Amino acid sequence: MSSSRPSFVIAIDGPAASGKGTLSRRLAQHYGFAHLDTGALYRATGRDMLAAGLDPRDSTAATAAAARVDPATFDDPRLRDEAVGQAASIVAAHAGVRAALLDLQRRFAASPPGGLDGAVLDGRDIGTVVCPDALVKFFVTASAEVRAHRRVLELQARGLPADEAAIRADLIARDARDSERAEAPLKPAENAILLDTSALDADAVFAAAQGIVDQKLFEATA
């Protein structure tokens, strides 16, 4: 931050494979803001537990793993594995894990790396818990069929096998776990703007969001 102006924060929540990651990256690039994929924090925790032979349901071990998570490892392609996604969803239900990861996310939002003027954070509880005062909040959804198909295309692009029916069932199970947990469940913030991407391509989603962010930035800086 070059001045005392608070960072502009864009909060993007939604279920797995809803298109929120693509939208977040594009908004961050367009506005010159930093981007944090907060799912990577939970995925890295899940990955590290599986690698150590630990059970993601063990809340004490999961909390310790979350406290040791290293953002330098977020490029690891294994973070995108389905097994790691499921483990991430299990560790994410532990209050200790969420508490261990909260500060890092709030610091990123308040003081984006590189002194940038704003930050885009995407996840499940950004608008509700991590950044309740965000300048703008989006809740990005799409049907389970569309999301499963997108995940299949992603896996195929990585040269990995993809069973669409199994992926759809996994997504639905993960949505249920993420939405029904007691701690910071997946749900739209009261003042979130809903974007259903089922019938929209990435350009149309970006255009819709950009119009809204432009207006909010105009109001905030007027």
Q: Distance of CA 1 to CAs 27, 130, 200, Å?
A: 18, 20, 34
Q: What is the dihedral of CA 29, 30, 34, 38, to 10 degrees?
A: -80
Q: Of residues 31, 42, 108, 206, which one binds ligand DC by CB under 6 A?
A: 42
Name the 3-class secondary structure at 185: coil
> Does residue number 138 form part of the binding site for ligand DC (CB under 6 A)?
no
What's the CA angle centered on 146, arms 141 and 152, to 5 degrees? Answer: 120
Among 130, 99, 150, CA closest to 36: 130
Q: Could you give the angle at which helices 95-110 and 39-51 cross, rounded to 10 degrees?
A: 140
We find the least distance from the C-beta atom of residue 88 to ligand DC, in angstroms, to be 4
- Judged by CB under 6 A, the stretch of 49-57, 62-70, 109-117, 124-132 that binds ligand DC is 124-132
Among 177, 188, 155, 186, CA closest to 87: 177
Between 102 and 200, name the residue whose CB sits nearer to ligand DC.
102
Strand 8-13 and strand 34-37: pairing? unpaired
Between 65 and 126, name the residue whose CB sits nearer to ligand DC.
126
Q: How many residues bind ligand DC (CB under 6 A)?
A: 15
> Does residue number 38 form part of the binding site for ligand DC (CB under 6 A)?
yes
Q: Of residues 26, 94, 124, 147, which one binds ligand DC by CB under 6 A?
A: 124
- Judged by CB under 6 A, the stretch of 38-46, 61-69, 137-145, 192-200 that binds ligand DC is 38-46
Q: Of residues 125, 140, 141, 147, which one binds ligand DC by CB under 6 A?
A: 125
Cα Rg of the chain (Å, integer): 17
- Judged by CB under 6 A, the stretch of 110-118, 119-127, 134-142, 152-160 that binds ligand DC is 119-127
Q: How far apart are CA 133 and CA 158, in angstroms?
A: 37
We find the least distance from the C-beta atom of residue 174 to ligand DC, in angstroms, to be 5
- Judged by CB under 6 A, the stretch of 50-58, 60-68, 83-91, 200-208 that binds ligand DC is 83-91
Residue with tokens 């119009």: 211
Contacts to ligand DC by CB under 6 A: 16, 38-39, 42-43, 85, 88-89, 92, 123-126, 174, 178
